[in-house]
Every structure is written in C-alpha cells, then in structure tokens.
Amino acid sequence: MRLSTAAVESLPRIDGRLSFIVAGHERPRNYADDPPPGVPQSTAQYEERTVAIRNLRPLAAGFSVDREGFQFASAPSRFERFDDGDAVRRDYYAEAAQLVVELTGAARVVVFDHTLRRRSADDSRGSATSTRPPVHRVHVDFTASSGARRAREILGEEAHILHGRRYAVINLWRPIRGPLQDSPLAVSDAQSVAFDDLVATDLIYPDRIGEFYTVKFSPAHRWFYAPQMTPDEVLLLKCFDQAEDGTARFAPHTAFDDPNAGGDRLPRESIEVRTLALFDA
C-alpha cells in the first residue's frame, strides 16, 4: 500500500542542496575516470537547488523498491574485507545476491559489479581499479536502453531467458563504517519523477561508452534519506526495470551534505553492489 501524503509530510525533514542538470541542446557526456589533460570532466551544466529531504526512518518499513524505487532494511553482515576485491567478489557477492532475493522476491539474482566509495582530499575520480568519491549530482545508473543492454551482456549465452520476462537492475548500497554523517545518500520517490525529468548522458570509459540518466530539477520530486546509517543497514536502489506497468523503473539518487552533520565526521566509506534481478511471471 502506498504511503499517504499526510504520513510522508509528517516525517522530519532537513533542507539539503542537490545538484541537477540544466538540459541543453547537445547530448551531455561525462568521463567515468579522470579525463585527459585539458578535457572537462563533464560537458553538462548543473544547478544547485535546495530541497526538502525527509527522514525515512519513522516509516522505513513502508517503502518498497518496486513502488518508490528504494527500500531500507536492517541487514547485518559478517563480511569485513571490503578492501580485498577478490574477497568481495567471492564472499560478499553471494551474501548480497541472497539479500536481494529475500527483499524483492526475485527468482534469481546475479551480482555483476561493485564500487567502493571514499571521500578523499581532492575527490579525484580515480580509475576503474580504484575507489571512487561519492557522486554529488542527481543521477540514475542506467537508462532504458543501457539497462536492457547490460542485462543481455551479463547473461551472455543465457540472454534468451530475458524474453517475455521481467528483470531489473537493483543496487545494494551499504556504508562500511558509521554511523554515517558524511555525504549520506538522498533518494527520490520514483513515482514523483516524470520520464521527461531524466536526461540520457554518455559515460565515457577508457574502452567503451556507457549511458546513464542525469536529472532535471522538479518541485514535484519527493526526497528521502536515512540519517546515521550503520554498516548493519542497507538501501536498495532501482536503477532500471524492464516493466512498464507502473512499477518503479528509475530512482534518482545522490550524495549530499547533511547540514546537521558534525564537523568531526569521518569521511564516507561505502560499497554499492549492482545486481541483475530476474522475476518469474
């Protein structure tokens, strides 16, 4: 059941500054890593807007990744070796896949990627083999086109099983130290976001060009966050859904500066695991 407007409006709120794209006439492009010398990181123009960001904790159980596009859960993990990429892929991936199955009811979940994020002194982008800083621009990781294409790439010879079947790309996001105060994650209710608010943007890697959505500001957007998240808590984020039946397809999100955070806060460290979830008819 969808949360009532009155219930949402009653949630505690803060005013946060979020960065939105200003749509131009040319298709924007971003470099995933540090760009070549003299080349801008992005050709897009952005504007900051102050928006109400509501504390989802009092109604946490009422949010659904298939309705609002995000879902909060308590999910303690025994895994601690997040700096060991091989261990993450060997052990944490399996744990993450099972958690997404349990939270979404998916018949099968394939973990295909992960990113560690740490805020550093210069917030350089780094490279594909290093950690990355938090992203302080409103975005969605995939588009309608790139989400479907990525699903086919992940499954390879099994891609035929996608025909006539619902599938989705869902991120599992977890702070790896906390309580998190630095650069928490703000997420928008997918039902409050019009498709025209999403701007397809090229994402340039050293060996390929991907595609994601940047997001235009709209006063209709409803924003939420979970303050003081701990490593025992996760957020699910819908980054693409094949369904076009009213199910949440794209949940914009961004790191932001919490105005209530203390000056002695620890720099954010988090991991996001990207999964392909397959659903039975």
Least-confidence region, from 30-44, 67-81, 105-119, 230-244: 30-44
Going by C-beta distance under 8 Å and a sequence separation of 6 or more, which residues neighbour residue 266? Answer: 177, 181, 182
- Top-confidence residue, 4 or 198: 198
Distance of CA 210 to the CA centre of its chain: 16
Question: What's the rounded mean pLDDT across residues 57-83?
Answer: 96
118 Cβ contact list (under 8 Å, min separation 6)? 131, 132, 133, 267, 268, 269
Determine the CATH number of domain 40-278. 2.60.120
Do residues 97 and 110 make contact, with C-beta atoms less than 8 angstroms apart? yes
pLDDT at position 83 is 93
pLDDT at 16 over 60: yes
What's the CA gap between 126 and 205, in Å, rounded? 12
Overall pTM surpassing 0.75 (yes/no): yes
What is the predicted pLDDT for the residue at 59? Answer: 97
The HSE-up count of residue 279 (CA atoms within 13 Å, CB side) is 16
Give the torsion sign (CA, 200, 28, 47, 137): positive
Domain range annotation of the chain: 40-278
Of 23-27, 215-219, 251-255, the least confident: 23-27
What's the chain's average pLDDT? 93
